[in-house]
Amino acid sequence: MAVKKKTDLTYAEAAAELDAILDEIESGTADVDELGEKVERAAVLIRFCREKLQSTTLRVNKVVEDLAALGTETEEADETEAET
């Protein structure tokens, strides 16, 4: 199994590889000699996906906060203009 460096891996690729590993394990077609490696790789992929999701959540929350702050500033400016 060709393994990409963690920095080269996308979330979609990690999820697809994880699905393939799980399918192989669940179907019973996983080679017993490689089972430990597959489980370890699955753990790495799960950790990677969790980190990616947490990072994305932080980025999205930051953008939402910035937009909310901008909206508040815009509303305050509109109110000031309306008062004059």
The pLDDT of residue 1 is above 50: no
Mean pLDDT, the chain, rounded, equals 87
Give the range among 2-6, 36-40, 48-52, 61-65 with minimum mean pLDDT. Answer: 2-6
Instruction: Give residue 61's pLDDT.
Output: 97
Model confidence over 48-84: pLDDT tens digits?
A: 999 999 999 999 999 999 999 888 777 666 666 666 5
Instruction: Give residue 83's pLDDT.
Output: 67
Instruction: Give how far Cα 55 sits from Cα of 4, 9, 51, 73, Å.
Output: 20, 15, 6, 27
Are the C-beta atoms of residues 24 and 38 closer than 8 Å to each other?
Answer: yes
